[in-house]
Amino acid sequence: MSFPTARWRLLWSPPADGAMNMAVDVAIVEAVAAGEAPPTLRFYRWDPPCLSLGRRQPVDDVDLARCRMDGVEVARRPTGGRAILHVDELTYSVIFPESDPRAAGGVLETFRRFAEAFVQALRDLGIPEVALAPRLDPAARGDGFVCFEVPTDYELTVRGRKIMGSAQWRHRGVVLQHGSLPLEGDPGTIAVYLKNGPDPERLRRRAITLREAAGRPVTFEEAAAAIMEAFRSLLAIEAQPGDLTPEERRRIPVWRERLSVLRQVGAVPAEPF
């Protein structure tokens, strides 16, 4: 399927804490819904490290004391899914109206379109074995704690190990899809921060970083450039650098407070949306 050329805003966000990163994504969703901001492709990083939880994942899954001791933030994502430890990674988000033809066909079809672009990007980075995970029987999904333990529909794998996870939220006629591409590090580390979490060795067998898959270090900028080129060639998205609008900046502090778990344990509702 071919698409008409679309000019989206490109945001290079500076490294930020987890609640800030999630608040920016939600603020953009609200601004796009209100007609105050254009469709947006955003790249961002995390400082300090952050354990993010899917929107319905219980806080009780987390060893909050260990997170505090190690300086790991805990934040709530607007999207679903399982816990992710954000350390040395590239995180992207795409935020655009549901009326856009790239969103046609529903959630899974949108996932597939963007996943095919990510496949091209990783192949261009020297990973020919990257593939899309097959659709899973819902009965086989399980109830694990960790996003990278099991690839779900149309997520990316290398030699059967998950390399990239994404999640989607549709709100007020706007699509938010964001995802995590670990550049390097130890996929088993997240188990330390979860109560009764998975075996670290099992996670290492089931997940892989970009460095291990490519056999070389890949920088944040190199990975982002490959994704932008794949978006341009497969999805006809021309991303032009821009900035947050005043309306978006005004919304961010409210969402940052609501999405920070460690600062408001006992006060943050389980469903803050």
Please name the helix (run of DSSP H) or strand (run of DSSP E) that holds residue 177, with its range, or none.
strand 174-182
- DSSP SS3 for 234: helix
Peptide bond between residue 48 and the one before it cis (omega within 30 degrees of 0): yes
| Residue in 63, 10, 81 with CA at minimum distance from that of residue 262 | 63
DSSP for residue 140: G
CA-wise closest residue to 40 among 94, 81, 80: 94
Pair 133, 164: CB distance under 8 Å: no
Name the nearest CA neighbour of 213 among 141, 135, 146, 118: 118
- Determine which one of 147, 174, 194, 223 is catalytic: 147
What does the alpha-carbon distance between residue 172 and residue 30 come to, in Å, rounded to a whole number?
8
Task: Report the alpha-carbon angle 188-194-196, nearest 5.
Answer: 100
For residue 50, indicate whether it is catalytic. no
Instruction: Write the DSSP assignment of 48-67 as a string of letters.
Output: S-EEEE-TTS-GGGB-HHHH
Catalytic residue numbers? 147
